[in-house]
Amino acid sequence: MTIPPGLRGRAHGVRRFRSRRSSRELCASFEVAGARCFVLDLRGVTDRAALIARWGAAIDAPAYLGHTWDALDEVMRDLSWARSDRYVMILTGVGELTRADPGVWRHALIVLADAASSWQERGVPMLVLVRGAPVDAPPPMIA
């Protein structure tokens, strides 16, 4: 398994992504290359509380993670329990959330883009791959 072209090396930011490979397979490829990879499956998530709970579980966040955007932002900029020289997060199943609450989806993208920028400033690439976003979803920002 190899990392797809364009995503190797120091690639960072939030990107829409399509692949026939499963998210777990992609994650395994990134981990073999030395990255810490998380899969955030958002199927069934339709609101902020469910999003933050699922997100916390996906990154194995500390128990102190609250249910606010500020808490999530802080945790994404910390990741001290998952130290790495590169982070990759693969989001899948985002369609329900984008339809149910576009504002929550937009805010999630802001948290992800801000985290990617923060890590990049420290010399640690964070790449966020958004899979399956419907065409009417707000476009992912590139950090």
Q: How many residues does the chain have?
A: 143
The beta strand positions in 66-125, using DSSP E, are: 87-92
Backbone torsions φ then ψ of 14, nearest 5 degrees = -105, 125
User: How is domain 13-131 classified at the architecture level of CATH?
Assistant: 2-Layer Sandwich (3.30)
Nearest to 36 by CA among 80, 71, 67: 80
Task: State the average pLDDT over residues 34-49.
Answer: 96
Spell out the domain ranges in the chain: 13-131
Res 100: pLDDT: 94
**Is 142 a residue whose pLDDT tops 50?**
no
Nearest to 97 by CA among 141, 56, 40, 142: 40
